[in-house]
A and B are shown apart, each in its own frame.
Chain A
């Protein structure tokens, strides 16, 4: 169990640029989640996959955001035309099993939009 890994750890970009983050979940986990966390807040749900199917998207996920999980393994989160309000920590988590299963989080990607 190597844990959930996220890349990059930090990303600084200029407003208007596109960015892409990668998450590698724990290999046997079938569920993968993306959360966003800003200073002083708890993680806010963005979207989740069961295997390769994206089952739910939050209203926080505007049309500038897109997430994929090809082949049900790693996932990418892309933000197009970044805005300063997108600055946050983007957390990925994975789990195995049904409701109540604990989430295993990565250490996040810190995005700063200047």
Chain B
């Protein structure tokens, strides 16, 4: 059972289009991170969201954390070919009385933006 479900798994769009990808779970997360990974490289952090309902913007990217801290979305406006990559969400779960945490990744959304 996948703790974090990402959808869609694959997305191919034309340059200039808008898109939204989703990250859903039945678990409540202390925080949630979004990463982008390009072929042959490690994931690179885009943003961390901590508070339920929080919205963060990074240029053309808008990230939202659900009110219940169980889900998140990433919206890209006017996508460009440089946005192509694997978008991963990762949820942080606290345990051991809050002294430790584990970061669990979803399978990712593979985005292709065609020129």
Closest CB in chain B relative to A33 CB, distance in Å: 8
Count of residues in A whose CB is under 8 Å from the partner chain: 23
Chain-A contact segment, one of B14-22, B52-60, B69-77, B98-106: B98-106
User: Is B97 interfacial (CB-CB < 8 Å)?
Assistant: no
User: Is B82 interfacial (CB-CB < 8 Å)?
Assistant: no
Residue contact B42 to A4, C-beta cutoff 8 Å: yes
Closest CB in chain B relative to A26 CB, distance in Å: 13
Interface residues of A in 92-108 (CB under 8 A from B): 93, 98-100, 102-108
Q: Interface size for chain B: under 10, 10 to 19, 20 to 34, or 35 or more residues?
A: 20 to 34
Give Cα distance in the complex from A93 to B90, angstroms.
Answer: 14
User: Is A62 interfacial (CB-CB < 8 Å)?
Assistant: no
List chain A residues, Cβ under 8 A from B30.
99-100
A40-B107, A99-B92, A99-B94 as given contacts; A105 in contact with B101, CB under 8 Å: no
What per-residue 1/0 map shows which CB atoms of A80-114 lie under 8 Å from chain B? 00000000000101000011101111111000000
List chain B residues, Cβ under 8 A from A42.
4, 6, 88, 90, 105-108
Give Cα distance in the complex from A40 to B105, angstroms.
Answer: 12
User: Is A2 interfacial (CB-CB < 8 Å)?
Assistant: no
Give Cα distance in the complex from A17 to B113, angstroms.
Answer: 41
B interface residues with partner A (beta carbon < 8 Å)? 4, 6, 30-31, 33, 40-45, 48, 50, 88, 90, 92, 94, 98, 100-108
